[in-house]
Amino acid sequence: MRVQRDKSLTFEPDGIKIECPGVPSEENSKIGEVSRAETPRYLGLESRPGGNIPGTRAREAGRAVSYSFDAAGYRIPGPGAEVDVARPTLIFTGESIIVGFGLAWEETIPAQVGASLGIQSANLAVTDYSNDQSYLRLAAELPRFHKPVAVVTLFMPSLFDRNLLNNRPRLGPGMVEQLPDQHWRLSALLHWLIPYRSTATINEGVARTRDSLGALVHLACARGAQPLIVVPQFGEASPVEEALQRRNLDEAGLPYVRVRLDPTWHLPGDAHPDARGARAIAAAVVARLRLNDTASASNTQWKGNCGAFASLNGPTSDHSERLPISILH
């Protein structure tokens, strides 16, 4: 059974209380089952032997949706479709919003951005991932791509709690990969029912989040790809959400675009964006990538995205020269 909750965050005297009377969870959904099945074990998820997962039809949030994933765990348009790693590619990593929970392939953010820019997209996202896991997934897969044009990931303050969990692979101090901790089920259940984070835990989570997002930006820049973090926001942000965005993104100087969504643009009975929400997010990503690619902006915004994280003239891999979006479509 999937429980849907509206997550809210409130300040407490010595920490943050994360009230989750129904966090969107896709762990027991069909998309969670098939996308995580193909992800390597070292990322904390069970791996199934290779082979293309055929179109799997499921009912998500009251609608029939078809999901297909290839042997690498990338979501693809349908059975038999392939991601050509030799072609210029827009690479997306993240969690269920990027995967396209409850959406047809053509409605997903990566598919819409790719169609708008005329560039192949690769959807590496896996449901329920934290920002640490999204980075680890990118680090494992990026070397396969010969011509990455952009790397796009997602950060949402309302999902920040995932970055505090130790029951999954994560990055410790110094960007050292750490294995999941084993917790008693009762302890995990109590935290789920009464989530509370101390100031020290929040500070540790902010450091981990900034490190993992910064490493992702560095990785993209080292390959000559535009880095971009997309920050969807349903309605007005709460003071805690504003604070988390400021501490995790603004103070770290990370490149992001914030997308304000109508509070009604979500799947029925579910907190994931519907087709309207995904369309708005995709449009914002397209606009930012195009802006950063113009001649007038390339020396400021795009290079500014990389300046603190990597030298554009530094070491690069084969075929990693920057490919301007304007000449690719």
% of the chain exceeding 70 in pLDDT: 60
Helix (H), strand (E) at residue 178:
strand 176-178
The pair of structure tokens assigned to 277 is 């929400």
Sheet strand arrangement including 256-261? 120-123, 88-92, 147-154, 226-234, 256-261
Cα maximum dimension of the chain = 57
- CA–CA distance, 225 with 215 (Å, rounded to integer): 13
Weakest-pLDDT range from 59-63, 70-74, 82-86: 59-63
Model confidence at 47: pLDDT above 80? no
Question: Would you give the distance in Å from CA 205 to the centre of its chain?
Answer: 17
For the chain, which residues make up each domain, given as ranges?
10-327
Helix (H), strand (E) at residue 245:
helix 239-245
- CA–CA distance, 108 with 110 (Å, rounded to integer): 6
Q: What is the pLDDT of residue 172?
A: 67
Beta strands 8-12 and 15-19 are antiparallel
Are 133 and 154 contacting, i.e. CB atoms less than 8 angstroms apart? no
Model confidence at 161: pLDDT above 90? no
How confident is the model over 276-304, as a mean pLDDT?
Answer: 74
For the stretch 177-235, pLDDT in tens is 666 656 545 455 545 444 566 777 778 778 888 988 999 999 999 999 999 999 999 99
* Residue 38, phi then psi, degrees to nearest 5: -100, 5
Q: What is the pLDDT of residue 171?
A: 66
Mean pLDDT for the chain overall: 75
Banded pLDDT at 26 (limits 50, 70, 90): low
Are 292 and 298 contacting, i.e. CB atoms less than 8 angstroms apart? yes
Q: Counting beta carbons within 10 angstroms of the beta carbon of residue 79, is it exposed (0 to 12), middle (13 to 18) or buried (19 or more)?
A: middle
Model confidence at 96: pLDDT above 60? yes
Output the CATH code of domain 10-327.
3.40.50.1110
The pair of structure tokens assigned to 283 is 């449009």
Q: What is the pLDDT of residue 37?
A: 45
Q: What is the pLDDT of residue 48?
A: 36
More confident residue, 86 or 2: 86
How confident is the model over 246-272, as a mean pLDDT?
Answer: 94
How many degrees, rounded to 5, is the angle at CA 127 between CA 276 and CA 36? Answer: 140
Q: What is the pLDDT of residue 305?
A: 61
Model confidence at 22: pLDDT above 70? no
Residue 297: DSSP 8-state: H
How confident is the model over 114-137, as a mean pLDDT?
Answer: 93
Model confidence at 151: pLDDT above 70? yes
Weakest-pLDDT range from 27-31, 140-144, 174-178, 230-234: 27-31
pTM as predicted: 0.76
Q: What is the pLDDT of residue 2?
A: 38
Top-ranked range on mean pLDDT: pick from 41-50, 143-152, 231-240: 143-152
